[in-house]
């Protein structure tokens, strides 16, 4: 049986990873134009941070997965 302190520590580690990922995302500036088709990316979308694709290309990308 796992020690309760170990479980708590694991949860903290997971939260830190999520937090770091979010910080990296916000530190990465969005492109003002799409990396694929050069269409301008709407400012509202750029505000998300780390955006490289316009909505159309992002949708196409997600459909391909």
On whether the CB atoms of residues 55 and 30 are closer than 8 A, the answer is no
Segment near Zn ion (CB under 5 A); pick from 6-14, 19-27, 30-38, 40-48: 30-38
Under the binding rule (CB under 5 A), the answer on residue 37 touching Zn ion is yes
- Residue from 45, 46, 52, 57 touching Zn ion (CB under 5 A): that is 57
Count of residues near Zn ion by CB under 5 A: 6
On whether the CB atoms of residues 37 and 57 are closer than 8 A, the answer is yes
Cα Rg of the chain, angstroms: 18
Contacts with Zn ion, residue ranges (CB under 5 A): 34, 36-37, 39, 54, 57
């Amino acid at each position: 049986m796992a020690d309760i302190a170990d479980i708590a520590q694991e949860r903290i580690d997971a939260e830190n990873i999520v937090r770091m990922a979010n910080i990296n995302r916000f530190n990465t500036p969005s492109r003002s134009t799409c990396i694929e088709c050069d269409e301008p990316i709407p400012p509202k979308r750029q505000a998300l941070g780390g955006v490289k694709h316009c909505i159309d290309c992002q949708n196409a990308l997600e459909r391909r997965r």
